[in-house]
Every structure is written in structure tokens, then in C-alpha cells.
Amino acid sequence: MFKKLFFILCPIFVYARKGAFQQELRRQYGDFLNHLNKVETPLSFETFVYNLNTVQNFNEENNGCRMYLTQNSDINRNDVHKKCET
């Protein structure tokens, strides 16, 4: 009984979680645009998400260096800034 219920409800929870994650990315992207007084272009959201993932993955794996988005991180892939402790 519980196993059937789990398999019925599982896709609903996965979809809801994915939707919440997408909303959070959109919120962060909106903040990025507002802060820099920019307007969204056709591929800018996808480029921003790609660069944000690059930054987050790098920062999780490295202690001596940090990576940051730049004002053009919505225009060019891999347009990020890396700063290392000297």
C-alpha cells in the first residue's frame, strides 16, 4: 500500500521541487539584471545559469580561490572572475 502511494506521489514531489529550483534561479537572475540595470536578451538566462553553476561548482571544490560572476555573465559563457589568496 505505502509502496504504491510512494510511486504515485514521487513524480509530484520531484516536479514541485524542480519548479521551486527554477523559480529560485529566476529570482537570482532577476536580481542580477536589476542590480546591473540590464535587460534580458534571448539566451541570457541560460548563459547566466551556466556561469552560475560554474561558479558554484568551482567554489565548492576550491579553498584558496573563489570565483565570481561578472557584469557580462549573462552574455558570454565562462565570463567569470577568479580571485586567489596570495
Q: Does some domain include residue 29?
A: yes
**67, exposed or middle or buried, with CB in 10 Å at 0-12, 13-18, 19+?**
middle
Q: Does some domain include residue 56?
A: yes
pLDDT in tens, 11-37: 544 444 556 778 999 999 999 999 999
DSSP E strand stretches across the chain = 65-69, 80-84
Question: Contact at 8 Å (CB) between 53 and 69?
Answer: no
Q: Does some domain include residue 71?
A: yes
Q: Residue 76: pLDDT above 50?
A: yes
pLDDT in tens, 43-67: 999 999 999 999 999 998 887 889 9
Tell which wins on pLDDT, 20 or 10: 20
Tell which wins on pLDDT, 76 or 85: 76
The whole domain housing 53 covers 12-84
Q: Tally the domains of the chain.
A: 1
| pTM check: above 0.85 | no
Show contacts of 22-30: CB within 8 Å, 24+ apart: 25/49, 25/52, 28/52, 29/74
CA 60 to chain centre: 14
Residue-level pLDDT at 20: 72
